[in-house]
């Protein structure tokens, strides 16, 4: 771990300014991912701005009947919220499918969106990684890629976004609210929040330096049956090989997003429209143009089968 | 004491303390966090510095240049040891790996330097400032690619001959009416124990004391002396508590060597905990095996030909993973051909991991038997029973000391409800779960070796036992104390066991499933000697003396045991040595494993629903600790069957998934109800305790039982462990 300086911000504006004005500065909230990465020098911030005193820890109803989730609401509290459980079941299910109880107690809503990939080559500083060290190459391409991405990846990077919560938020059309150092606020649809790697895999999201997430809003409830089907090699405490977040309406229409397959929660609205035709039709559209490796080609049939399971459960 | 004829009645047979389900005597220390593990000795005095190992960044090559100047100048740094400053280092006797790279780099994450600083954080930060220029050379990292050219392994110290020929395999196999010829693979596996390798090293002049975490103290002293080039007498190792090892801490690893070097260089005691990310490529592991099994049987299922070829790789001078071991003694069959092939690989050293040989060997053999049963149209249990043997198939004049194999199979089948097994594959569903049953045999050698102990009778009547045996969390403290309590006729709470100190009498430690049987026999010998002293002190006639209830009784006279030490503590030290009983009798432990799994018919996800192990391992010294050993093995078997694999990147030569997020071991949610039953038996050929180890038996056979259950559930046979869904997903039964 490289030496760094540390401050606790008093308000959001000060926090944003503190990071924006200092190259190498980063926010820290729960720290469940950042600290691990700092210990192995994958992350080497020179300055940490701790945002834990900023509040942002409540869930309130919005004017249009949705929910505004404070950026610092813990994963545990978000999953347990009665309104979330009642109206946004897919979100609760996704959160409790991730990490462990201890981590969820500490991890924040904003931090969960910002967790970095779990590609093993990203974690090993001896290996080439364009995400960790731009221009160094990608050791994962041609290497051990069973866990890695099948779509939305590039010749620079085949990593996936590893989270579960964001996959559910994608299905719910959540919006990420931010403030920057100038006090300007943005509302970023979750669909646009995570970048596709292209030739800049070092940039995970569209956030600008110093731009601070303050909340995530959920539109008003959409009803339907909610599912989060997470497929993994062991029953808990593992990243998804493939996950399916879905909300299915009584008439068979609905929405679906996939986790564990791409740099972002993977949802293709045109594929949603094919839900009444069955899982194969949806995934054929959603994964059109997929570029799996020899190791991870199984994720394509797995996505279809996991969705078929969800559709069958919805009909039951 | 010499043990060379089968035991008659012994004081142990009373079973007033032995054989009883006493909870672990050191349990309260562990549940309260007060058991001091290697890195937790905070009372050693001195100004402890911290060591941090920098691992090599390449799989094979040379250090062309190394520049430590930036690290030397970093805050808090007291010393940096590299091959240029370490002085000559030898190699241990059990592991062939070199503990410090330079100039050659033998494998990925081999230690290149150890940094010593005032704090752990300073040492870690400084290690990243060391600049190493490597000259990469072409390495060998791919067992499959080298298999064709691998020769038969040279003679090895463990596992018997590398090639065993009995009868005429080729002719018998060709003539057999029913045959099987399949190849199975078991990947590289990591011990992944909870406590990492850790050492605090302190020099007092020429004397080196290390608080560390190793399973075999006497091997540790021997190997550290060889590596450092100092006399054994100058080394004292202490491992009173070990947070798991599974063979990965058999003897000296890099933490111990580099802590000692670092402490010498810094002139201060040094604490060094091997970081988790280094454990996979820096230390030993269970190496990958490719195994071809050929079975020929009559239509009655009786085997006439057994062929088992095993390929594995290792560093130059290293040994095979001897997967043919269990095949030697498990089943009958007049014609046998067992071969072990070895190739050189530039990956971390392959060496002992829980049930070396047996665990991966059974993963192949027992899947092959399941396949053969299907070809024969026989029940898999019946096929095993049909191939029971009363004698060593290689030496028909050599009987088994005990062999309750068929009893294990029948007991298990009955207890598990095997008769309710889905008769044909993919024939049973429970909602969206495809249900399957599977079973496998279990066999593991029951070695026993010379072990010593020192027993003291204090004036208070308390009994103190000292031996260098270790406790990995297995129950050694408890069974050592139970043995002494039984022998001296005192309650368990009047005995204190002191373990894990190389200054205590030698034992084979914990490893090879020989620890429990060996150390209790050593304690028996020392106690027998102490009893003689007590009898003499108290003026009893020797023959009819009874030690019970804290008293010594004979011919109507009763004296308290404590009174024998009235004038001062009594001390006896002895060891148990062995004659040729292990040559005259095949001494093995046996078992049977049964599994029920559910496989999600959509996603292929496997969940183990229940497991049963039936074990025959001589006298069970403590049913609680023995059961814990077995369920630990069963849990490890779930991992071996379904998830554990160190993935090799054959381009760069490393195990890629070198942390506990990437190398998955079972979590609680993967582990269902585990049922364990022990067959009631004693083995008088082992020792006066008539006991055998059970820790490795609990693992062998678990993974193939689960794999066979997956086949029974799905109808898809996967011969490449672990059985992950990507290997069969598209071959699952049609979704209806």
Structure tokens at B431: 């909602």
Residue A233 and residue B730: Cβ atoms within 8 Å?
Answer: no
pLDDT at residue B543, as a whole number: 76
pLDDT at residue B678, as a whole number: 98
The CATH number that applies at residue B469 is 3.30.365.10
Separation CA B481–CA B476 (nearest Å): 8
Residue B124 and residue A229: Cβ atoms within 8 Å?
Answer: no
- Per-residue burial over B1-25, b = 16 or more CB atoms within 10 Å of its CB, e = otherwise: eebeeebeebbbbbebbbbeebebb
- Express each pLDDT in B456-489 by its tens digit: 999 999 999 999 999 999 999 999 999 999 999 9
Q: Which residues of B touch A239 (CB under 8 A)?
A: 661
Q: Which residues of B touch A139 (CB under 8 A)?
A: 649, 652
- Does B659 contact A at CB distance below 8 Å? yes
Helix axes A279-286, A299-315, angle to 10 degrees: 140
- Express each pLDDT in B589-616 by its tens digit: 999 999 999 999 999 999 999 999 999 9
pLDDT at residue B635, as a whole number: 98
Q: Which residues of A touch B651 (CB under 8 A)?
A: 142-143
Residue B726 and residue A118: Cβ atoms within 8 Å?
Answer: no
- Does B650 contact A at CB distance below 8 Å? no
Asked if the model's pLDDT at residue B499 lies above 70, the reply is yes
- Express each pLDDT in B704-714 by its tens digit: 999 999 999 99
Q: Tell which B residues from 123 to 152 touch A, by Cβ distance under 8 Å.
A: 124-125, 128
In chain B, the number of structural domains is 3
Q: Strand A212-218: give its sheet, edge to edge.
A: A59-61, A67-70, A212-218, A175-179, A185-189
> Which candidate from B277, B649, B730 shows the least CB-CB separation from A143?
B649
**Rounded to 5 degrees, what are φ and ψ at B530?**
-65, -40
User: B575 and B601 share a domain?
Assistant: no
User: To the nearest whole angstrom, how far is the Cα of A284 from the nearest Cα of chain B?
Assistant: 16
Q: What number of residues does chain B have?
A: 736
- Does B735 contact A at CB distance below 8 Å? yes
- Does B73 contact A at CB distance below 8 Å? no
pLDDT at residue B159, as a whole number: 86
User: To the nearest whole angstrom, how far is the Cα of B657 from the nearest Cα of chain A?
Assistant: 6
Write the DSSP string, B188-210: -B----SSPPEEEEEEETTEEEE
Whether residue B349 lies inside any domain: the answer is: no
Separation CA B535–CA B527 (nearest Å): 12
- Per-residue burial over B283-302, b = 16 or more CB atoms within 10 Å of its CB, e = otherwise: bbbbbbbbbbbbbbbeeebe
User: To the nearest whole angstrom, how far is the Cα of B437 from the nearest Cα of chain A?
Assistant: 20
Mean pLDDT rounded to a whole number for chain A: 97
| Mean pLDDT confidence for A107-111 | 98
In what helix (H) or strand (E) does residue B677 lie, and over which residues does it extend?
strand B673-678
- Express each pLDDT in B320-351 by its tens digit: 999 999 999 999 999 999 999 999 999 999 99
User: To the nearest whole angstrom, how far is the Cα of A236 from the nearest Cα of chain B?
Assistant: 6
| Mean pLDDT confidence for B16-44 | 95
Q: Which residues of B touch A129 (CB under 8 A)?
A: none
- The angle at the Cα of A140, spanning A137 to A142, to the nearest 5 degrees, equals 100
Q: Strand B178-186: give its sheet, edge to edge.
A: B163-166, B335-344, B303-314, B289-297, B178-186
- Does B121 contact A at CB distance below 8 Å? yes
Domain boundary at B227, B245, B275, which?
B275
Query: A115, A204 in Cβ contact below 8 A?
Result: no
- Does B84 contact A at CB distance below 8 Å? no
User: B536 and B649 share a domain?
Assistant: no
- Express each pLDDT in B518-528 by its tens digit: 999 999 999 99
Q: How close are the terminal C-alpha atoms of chain B, in Å?
A: 69
Write the DSSP string, B86-128: S------SS----SS--SEE-STT-EEEEEEESSHHHHHHHHT
Give the single-character DSSP code of B24. P
User: B131 and B204 share a domain?
Assistant: yes
Residue B652 and residue A234: Cβ atoms within 8 Å?
Answer: no
Quote the pTM value: 0.98
B155, B711, B692: which is closest to B442 by C-alpha?
Answer: B692
Asked if the model's pLDDT at residue B119 lies above 90, the reply is yes
Separation CA B727–CA A142 (nearest Å): 19
Whether residue B567 lies inside any domain: the answer is: yes
Q: Which residues of A touch B642 (CB under 8 A)?
A: 233-234
Separation CA A83–CA B76 (nearest Å): 52
Q: Is B650 helix (H, G, I), strand (E, B) or coil?
A: coil
Whether residue B474 lies inside any domain: the answer is: yes
User: B94 and B106 share a domain?
Assistant: yes
Mean pLDDT rounded to a whole number for chain B: 97
Write the DSSP string, B401-422: S---HHHHHHHHHHHHTGGGS-
> Which candidate from B651, B669, B725 shows the least CB-CB separation from A235?
B669
User: B540 and B657 share a domain?
Assistant: no
Whether residue B123 lies inside any domain: the answer is: yes
Asked if the model's pLDDT at residue B46 lies above 90, the reply is no
Q: Which residues of A touch B600 (CB under 8 A)?
A: 309
Query: B687, B681 in Cβ contact below 8 A?
Result: no
Residue B664 and residue A305: Cβ atoms within 8 Å?
Answer: no
Active site residues per annotation of B:
696
Asked if the model's pLDDT at residue B383 lies above 90, the reply is yes
Domain boundary at B275, B306, B325, which?
B275
Residue A233 and residue B647: Cβ atoms within 8 Å?
Answer: no
Separation CA B140–CA B313 (nearest Å): 10
* 3-state per-residue secondary structure call for chain A: CCCCEEEECCCHHHHHHHHHCCCCEEEECCCCCHHHHHHCCCCCCCEEEECCCCCCCCEEECCCCCEEEECCCEHHHHHHCHHHHHHCHHHHHHHHCCCCHHHHHHCEHHHHHHCCCCCHHHHCCCCCECCCCCCCCECCCCCCCCCCCCCCCCCCCCCCCCCCHHHHHHHCCCEEEEECCCCCEEEEEHHHHECCCCCCCCCCECCCCCCEEEEEEECCCCCCEEEEEEECCCCCCCCCCEEEEEEECCCCCEEEEEECCCCCCECCHHHHCCHHHCHHHHHHHHCCCCCCCCCCCCHHHHHHHHHHHHHHHHHC
- Does B657 contact A at CB distance below 8 Å? yes
Torsion of CA B242, B244, B248, B253, to 10 degrees: -30
Q: Which residues of B touch A306 (CB under 8 A)?
A: 602-603
Q: Strand A242-248: give its sheet, edge to edge.
A: A225-231, A242-248, A254-259
pLDDT at residue B542, as a whole number: 65
Query: B108, B281 in Cβ contact below 8 A?
Result: yes
Residue A118 and residue B659: Cβ atoms within 8 Å?
Answer: no
Structure-token match 């077995």, residue found: B630
Domain boundary at B252, B275, B298, which?
B275
Using pLDDT thresholds of 50, 70 and 90, give the confidence band for residue B43. confident
Partners of B115 in the β-ladder: B52, B80
Residue B432 and residue A312: Cβ atoms within 8 Å?
Answer: yes
Whether residue B563 lies inside any domain: the answer is: yes
Helix ranges (H only) for B552-612 are 581-584
Separation CA A251–CA B10 (nearest Å): 77
Asked if the model's pLDDT at residue A24 lies above 70, the reply is yes
B390, B78, B352: which is closest to B219 by C-alpha?
Answer: B352
Q: What number of residues does chain A have?
A: 316
Query: A156, A137 in Cβ contact below 8 A?
Result: no
Structure tokens at B318: 């290293």
Structure-token match 């905070």, residue found: B42
B17, B327, B363, B385: which is closest to B161 by C-alpha?
Answer: B327
Asked if the model's pLDDT at residue A28 lies above 70, the reply is yes
> Which candidate from B277, B658, B735 shows the least CB-CB separation from A308?
B735
Q: Mutation test of the interface with chain B: which of A234, A258, A300, A306, choosing the one with the most B Cβ atoms within 10 A?
A: A234
User: B68 and B217 share a domain?
Assistant: yes
CA B208 from chain centre, in angstroms, equals: 28
In what helix (H) or strand (E) does residue B436 lie, and over which residues does it extend?
strand B433-445
Q: Which residues of A touch B658 (CB under 8 A)?
A: 120, 124
User: B698 and B732 share a domain?
Assistant: yes
Comparing alpha-carbon positions, the chain B residue that sits nearest to A38 is: B125
Would you call A45 exposed, middle or buried from its count of C-beta atoms within 10 A (0-12, 13-18, 19+)? buried
> Which candidate from A40, A146, A298 shows the least CB-CB separation from B277?
A40
Whether residue B265 lies inside any domain: the answer is: yes
Structural domain range at position B502:
2-35+448-581
Separation CA B545–CA B472 (nearest Å): 36
A314, A98, A94: which is closest to A223 by C-alpha?
Answer: A314
User: B460 and B599 share a domain?
Assistant: no
User: B507 and B613 share a domain?
Assistant: no
Residue B432 and residue A237: Cβ atoms within 8 Å?
Answer: no
pLDDT at residue B233, as a whole number: 98
User: B79 and B210 share a domain?
Assistant: yes
What distances in angstroms separate CA B608 from CA B636, B663, B666, one per listed residue? 13, 19, 11
Comparing alpha-carbon positions, the chain A residue that sits nearest to B56 is: A126
Structure tokens at A290: 């997929």
In what helix (H) or strand (E) does residue B165 lie, and over which residues does it extend?
strand B163-166
Residue B603 and residue A139: Cβ atoms within 8 Å?
Answer: no
Partners of B677 in the β-ladder: B614
Whether residue B151 lies inside any domain: the answer is: no
Whether residue B54 lies inside any domain: the answer is: yes
User: B202 and B218 share a domain?
Assistant: yes
- Per-residue burial over B115-135, b = 16 or more CB atoms within 10 Å of its CB, e = otherwise: bbbbebbbbbbbbbbbebebe
Q: Which residues of B touch A237 (CB under 8 A)?
A: 667
Q: Tell which B residues from 214 to 243 touch A, by Cβ distance under 8 Å.
A: none
Separation CA B558–CA B541 (nearest Å): 13
Separation CA B504–CA B468 (nearest Å): 5
Separation CA A197–CA A152 (nearest Å): 7
Size of interface A-B (CB pairs under 8 A): 96
pLDDT at residue B56, as a whole number: 98
User: To the nearest whole angstrom, how far is the Cα of A185 from the nearest Cα of chain B?
Assistant: 37
Structure tokens at B497: 């066991």
Separation CA B105–CA B83 (nearest Å): 11
Separation CA B418–CA B380 (nearest Å): 10
User: To the nearest whole angstrom, how far is the Cα of A66 from the nearest Cα of chain B?
Assistant: 33
Radius of gyration of chain A (CA): 19
Q: Is B138 helix (H, G, I), strand (E, B) or coil?
A: coil
List of residues 6+ apart from B494 with CB closer than 8 A: B461, B462, B463, B485, B550
| Mean pLDDT confidence for B261-289 | 98
Query: B683, B587 in Cβ contact below 8 A?
Result: yes
Comparing alpha-carbon positions, the chain B residue that sits nearest to A121 is: B656
User: B612 and B698 share a domain?
Assistant: yes
């Amino acid at each position: 771990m490289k030496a760094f300086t540390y401050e606790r911000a008093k308000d959001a504006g000060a926090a944003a300014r503190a990071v924006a004005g200092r190259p190498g500065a980063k926010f820290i909230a729960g720290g469940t991912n950042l600290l691990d990465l700092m210990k192995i020098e994958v992350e080497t911030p020179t300055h940490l701005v701790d945002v834990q005193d900023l509040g942002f820890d409540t869930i309130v109803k919005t004017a249009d009947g949705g929910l505004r989730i404070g950026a610092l609401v813990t994963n545990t509290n978000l999953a347990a919220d009665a309104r979330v459980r009642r109206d946004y079941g897919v979100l609760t299910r996704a959160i409790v499918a991730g990490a462990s109880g201890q981590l969820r107690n500490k991890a924040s809503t904003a931090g969960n969106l910002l967790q970095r990939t779990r590609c093993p080559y990203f974690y090993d500083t001896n290996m080439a990684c364009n995400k960790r060290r731009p221009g160094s190459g990608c050791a994962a391409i041609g290497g051990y890629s069973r866990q890695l991405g099948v779509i939305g990846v590039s010749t620079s990077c085949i990593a996936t976004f590893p989270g579960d919560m964001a996959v559910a938020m994608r299905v719910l059309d959540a919006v990420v609210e931010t403030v920057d150092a100038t006090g300007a606020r943005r509302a970023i649809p979750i669909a646009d929040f995570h970048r596709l790697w292209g030739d800049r895999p070092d940039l995970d999201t569209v956030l600008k330096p110093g731009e601070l997430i303050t909340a995530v809003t959920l539109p008003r409830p959409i009803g339907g049956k909610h599912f989060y089907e997470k497929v993994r090699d062991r029953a808990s405490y593992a990243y998804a090989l493939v996950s399916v977040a879905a909300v299915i309406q009584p008439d068979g229409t609905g929405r679906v997003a996939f986790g564990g397959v791409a740099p972002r929660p993977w949802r293709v609205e045109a594929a949603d429209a094919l839900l009444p035709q069955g899982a194969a039709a949806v995934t054929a559209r959603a994964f059109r143009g997929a570029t799996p490796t020899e190791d991870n080609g199984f994720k394509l049939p797995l996505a279809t089968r996991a969705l078929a399971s969800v559709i069958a459960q919805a009909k039951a | 004491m010499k043990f060379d004829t089968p035991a008659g009645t012994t004081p142990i047979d009373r079973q007033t303390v032995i054989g009883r389900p006493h909870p672990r005597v050191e349990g309260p220390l562990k549940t309260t966090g007060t058991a001091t593990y290697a890195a937790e000795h905070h009372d050693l005095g001195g100004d402890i510095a911290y060591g941090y190992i920098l691992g090599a960044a390449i799989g094979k090559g040379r250090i062309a240049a190394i520049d430590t100047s930036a690290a030397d100048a970093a805050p808090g740094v007291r010393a940096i040891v590299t091959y240029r400053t370490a002085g000559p280092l030898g190699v241990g006797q059990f592991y062939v790996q070199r503990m410090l790279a330079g100039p050659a780099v033998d494998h990925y994450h081999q230690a290149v330097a150890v940094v010593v600083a005032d704090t752990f954080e300073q040492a870690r930060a400084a290690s990243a400032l060391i600049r190493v220029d490597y000259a990469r050379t072409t390495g060998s990292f791919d067992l499959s690619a080298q298999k064709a050219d691998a020769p038969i392994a040279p003679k090895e110290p463990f596992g018997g001959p590398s090639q065993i020929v009995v009868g005429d395999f080729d002719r018998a196999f060709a003539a057999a009416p029913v045959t099987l010829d399949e190849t199975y693979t078991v990947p590289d596996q990591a011990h992944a124990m909870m406590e990492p390798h850790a050492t605090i090293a302190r020099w007092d002049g020429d004397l080196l004391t290390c608080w560390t975490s190793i399973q075999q103290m006497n091997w540790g002293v021997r190997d550290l002396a060889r590596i450092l080039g100092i006399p054994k007498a100058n080394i004292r190792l202490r491992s009173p508590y070990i947070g798991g090892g599974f063979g990965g801490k058999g003897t000296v690893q890099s933490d111990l060597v580099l802590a000692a070097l670092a402490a010498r260089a810094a002139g201060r005691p040094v604490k060094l905990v091997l970081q988790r990310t280094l454990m996979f490529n820096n230390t030993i592991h269970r190496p990958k095996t490719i195994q071809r099994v050929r079975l020929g049987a009559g239509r009655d299922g009786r085997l006439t030909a057994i062929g088992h070829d095993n390929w594995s790789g290792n560093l130059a001078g290293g040994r095979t993973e001897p997967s043919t071991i269990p095949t030697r003694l498990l089943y009958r069959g007049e014609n046998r051909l067992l071969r072990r092939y070895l190739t050189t690989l530039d990956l971390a050293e392959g060496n002992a991991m829980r049930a070396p040989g047996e665990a991966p060997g059974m993963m192949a053999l027992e899947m092959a038997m399941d396949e053969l049963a299907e070809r024969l149209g026989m029940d898999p249990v019946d096929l095993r029973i049909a191939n029971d043997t009363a004698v060593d198939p290689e030496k028909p004049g050599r009987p088994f000391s005990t062999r309750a194999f068929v009893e294990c199979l029948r007991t298990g089948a009955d207890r598990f409800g095997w008769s309710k097994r889905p008769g044909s594959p993919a024939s049973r569903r429970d909602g969206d779960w495809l249900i399957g049953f599977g079973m496998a045999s279990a066999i593991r050698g029951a070695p026993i070796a010379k072990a010593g102990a020192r027993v003291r009778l204090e004036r208070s009547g308390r009994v103190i036992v000292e031996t260098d045996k270790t406790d990995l969390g297995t129950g050694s403290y408890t069974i050592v104390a139970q043995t002494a309590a039984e022998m001296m006729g005192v309650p368990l709470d009047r005995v204190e066991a002191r373990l894990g100190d190389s200054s205590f009498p030698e034992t084979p430690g914990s490893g090879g499933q020989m620890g429990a049987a060996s150390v209790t026999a050593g304690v028996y010998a020392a106690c027998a000697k102490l009893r003689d002293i007590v009898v003499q002190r108290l003026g009893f006639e020797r023959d009819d003396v009874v030690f019970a209830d804290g008293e010594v009784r004979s011919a109507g006279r009763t004296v308290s045991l404590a009174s024998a030490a009235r004038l001062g503590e009594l001390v006896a030290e002895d060891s148990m040595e062995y004659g040729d009983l292990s040559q005259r009798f095949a001494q093995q432990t046996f078992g049977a494993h049964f599994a029920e799994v559910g496989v999600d018919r959509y996603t292929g996800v496997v969940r183990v629903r229940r497991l049963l192990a039936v074990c025959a391992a001589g006298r069970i010294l403590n049913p609680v600790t023995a059961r814990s050993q077995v369920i630990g093995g069963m849990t490890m078997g779930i991992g071996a069957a379904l998830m554990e694999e160190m993935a090799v990147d054959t381009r760069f030569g490393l195990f890629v998934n070198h942390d506990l997020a990437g190398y998955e071991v079972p979590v609680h949610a993967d582990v269902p109800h585990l049922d364990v039953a022990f067959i009631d038996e004693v083995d008088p050929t082992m020792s006066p305790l008539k006991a055998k180890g059970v820790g490795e038996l609990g693992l062998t056979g678990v993974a193939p039982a689960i794999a066979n259950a997956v086949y029974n559930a799905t109808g898809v046979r996967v011969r490449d462990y672990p059985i992950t869904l990507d290997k069969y997903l598209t071959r699952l039964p049609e979704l209806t």
